[in-house]
Structure 1
Amino acid sequence: MSQESSSKALARELKRHAVILGSCIALMWAVHLVNQFLFAGSLNNFGIYPRNPNSLRGIILMPLLHGNFAHILSNTASFLVLGWLVLIRGLRHFIWVSLISILVSGLGIWFFGSAGIHIGASGLIFGYFGFLLLYGLFERSLPSIALSLMVMFFYGSLIWGIFPGDDPRISWEGHLFGFIGGVLAAKFLSGK
């Protein structure tokens, strides 16, 4: 493959990544804006209320719902960076890690979460974090290990988010189970 054709292939791939991540972020923001300005935040009731059978739909809807603009801004930045690092492994990895992280995070919250509403994309983001941190360990290839070490260096402090904290508005359970989902996805996708 010539230098020019490989550059064009890389540009096409980066454009595809931008469309995929941009579409996900646009959906999150569209839901947030509609929720804030048309429904005064009442769509957040479609999040997860632990052990309430009526809120099982929240497992899928939770990543789209955010409490305020600071919440969605924080999740947007982390989703963009960590989501892209997962996406460079391939679309298949991105889809599987996203689905497993959302399901494990949501079910973990539903079964074990503290009382109150749980919303936000943090479980998904912590799933990406767990996947990126441990995929190198499971796959045992030099590029994967290098990526895991890079994520540990730049995002390692996220690990503290999986432990109970002082702010009852932060769903540490969502972080913990999202992280576990990411680790399970890393094991599954490494084929080992």
Structure 2
Amino acid sequence: MVLDASGGQPQTRHTPAARAQGGLLVLGLFVVLLFAIELVNAATFHSLNRTFGLRPRSADGLLDILTFPLFHANLGHVASNALPLIIFGFLVFMSGLRVFLTAVAFSWFGSGTLVWLIGGWGITVGASGLVFGLFAFLLVRGFFNRNWWQIALSVVLFLTYGGILFGILPGVAGFVSWQAHLGGALGGVAAAMLLKPRRVPQERQATERKS
């Protein structure tokens, strides 16, 4: 917290406006990074995918979990992930940096882990697992938090983007990794469960009121 030099009034860095600015900056820089990596990747004939893409059920593939969302098949692949990443990521970021980082981490590792365990024999790249994870987080967190505003947002998001959930089904699109989508979505749900408010027992609440 800082003081306003003009009136001595406290200002906080956690206002909705500050969070909105921070969210746009973080998501914008991340998307710019994805495009920059893809430009370098394309210039090397996508040789980086063979190095940093996720190779299922291989010892080296465990390290690929840390890198595979940063690489894509082409610029169109990056573009298809960019807008939903910004939208969903921004909405999650509005709940705070800790919530955002938790949702991203669970989506990232959930997506990579499931691909490593049951993915096909090819190399998997792309940030769509993060998209599905953040989307799933937004869909379910209101129900865990018992927050009607968050539930209303989840309904709006489902009506607008719910069609992407078909991407978690095997065989719907042969050229995409449904394992990455499903793993990311499961990670997002797990993050929402972890971050739900803890209920204080009624006996403890009564004790705290008396004290």
Give the TM-score of the pair, scaled to structure 1: 0.91
More helix by share: 1
Q: How many residues align?
A: 185
Aligned partner of 2:45 among 40, 57, 63:
40
1:105 aligns with 2:111: yes
Q: Which moved more, 1:44-53 or 1:12-21?
A: 12-21
Map of 1:185 onto structure 2: 191
The aligned runs of 1:114-133 (5 Å cut-off) are: 114-133=120-139
Taking the aligned partners of 1:99 and 1:13, their CA distance within structure 2 comes to 19
- Deviation string, structure 1 residues 35-91 (Cα, Å, up to 9, x no partner): 112x21111111111101112221111111000111100000110111111111111
Provide structure 2 residue ranges, at least 5 long, that are not aligned to the other structure.
1-10, 199-211
State the percentage of identical aligned residues. Answer: 39
Taking the aligned partners of 2:147 and 2:18, their CA distance within structure 1 comes to 26
Map of 2:76 onto structure 1: 70
CA displacement at 1:10 relative to structure 2: 4.4
Letter of the structure 2 residue corresponding to residue 128 of structure 1: L
Provide structure 1 residue ranges, at least 5 long, that are not aligned to the other structure.
none
| Structure label with greater radius of gyration | 2
1:147 aligns with 2:153: yes
The aligned runs of 1:83-98 (5 Å cut-off) are: 83-98=89-104
Letter of the structure 2 residue corresponding to residue 145 of structure 1: I
Map of 1:17 onto structure 2: 23
Give the TM-score of the pair, scaled to structure 2: 0.83
Contact 1:47 1:57 in 2 (8 A): no
The CA RMSD over aligned residues, in Å, is 1.6
Taking the aligned partners of 1:80 and 1:113, their CA distance within structure 2 comes to 27
Letter of the structure 1 residue corresponding to residue 57 of structure 2: R
